[in-house]
């Protein structure tokens, strides 16, 4: 089904996801993010000791790059969502902040396959970019860039959670992601 700005007649709400309103779901997603972060932190430490940042001529520069990259990543993650919202939906994309989270949203209804691409695009795009950077930089730069990669993967816990939910749902669903909440509709069975 092509993206649309109107639900087909007779479709019903199957699921609403709103982490601001559903504290139990928010705790689950944040716990997943912490678990991913802890596993990746341990994995990174088995590859390069954290002290390797001392190999930089100016370790403070490494920390500054990491901090600036982490802030930039918050926006760049949402820009990638926005690019795919726009590419598939051909409509204006909204951006904003909710607490510490940036968000991108659209009023378009997307089919399951397109929404999975939209939802997972940032973690894939930035995962590849940051993996290439990590392969190219000297060992002293590993941690400043690896921590941004860790933020990419752990910060995508909500996107991964939604993808896992969608994969268990029927193929003929429509998803609208308003940025801070999303709704999933399917055909009503009579």
Mean pLDDT across the stretch 39-56?
93
94-109: per-residue pLDDT in tens? 999 877 778 999 999 9
Q: How confident is the model at residue 53 (pLDDT cuts 50, 70, 90)?
A: confident
The first and second tokens of residue 178, run together, are: 């308003």
pLDDT score at 98: 79
Percent of the chain exceeding pLDDT 90 equals 85
pLDDT score at 185: 96
pLDDT score at 188: 82
Question: What is the overall mean pLDDT for the chain?
Answer: 93
Given a cut of 60, whether residue 112 has pLDDT beyond it is yes
**pTM greater than 0.75 (yes/no):** yes
Q: How confident is the model at residue 20 (pLDDT cuts 50, 70, 90)?
A: confident
Given a cut of 80, whether residue 190 has pLDDT beyond it is no
**Greater model confidence, 72 or 101:** 72
Given a cut of 90, whether residue 66 has pLDDT beyond it is yes
CA 61 to centroid of chain Cα atoms: 27
pLDDT score at 101: 79
Mean pLDDT across the stretch 148-175?
95
pLDDT score at 143: 95
Given a cut of 90, whether residue 54 has pLDDT beyond it is no
Mean pLDDT across the stretch 123-133?
97
């Amino acid at each position: 089904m092509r993206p649309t700005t109107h639900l087909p007649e007779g479709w019903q709400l199957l699921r609403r996801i709103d982490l601001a309103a559903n504290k139990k779901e928010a705790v689950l997603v944040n716990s997943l993010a912490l678990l991913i972060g802890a596993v990746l932190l341990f994995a990174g430490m088995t590859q390069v000791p954290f002290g390797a940042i001392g190999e930089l001529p100016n370790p403070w520069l490494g920390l500054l790059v990491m901090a600036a990259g982490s802030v930039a990543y918050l926006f760049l993650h949402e820009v990638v969502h926005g690019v795919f919202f726009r590419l598939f939906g051909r409509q204006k994309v909204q951006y904003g902040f909710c607490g510490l989270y940036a968000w991108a949203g659209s009023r378009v209804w997307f089919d399951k396959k397109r929404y999975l691409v939209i939802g997972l695009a940032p973690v894939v795009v930035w995962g590849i970019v940051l993996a290439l950077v990590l392969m190219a930089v000297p060992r002293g730069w590993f941690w400043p860039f690896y921590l941004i990669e860790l933020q990419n993967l752990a910060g995508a816990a909500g996107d991964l959670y939604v993808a896992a939910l969608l994969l268990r749902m029927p193929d003929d669903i429509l998803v609208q992601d308003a940025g801070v909440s999303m709704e999933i509709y399917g055909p009503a069975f009579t």
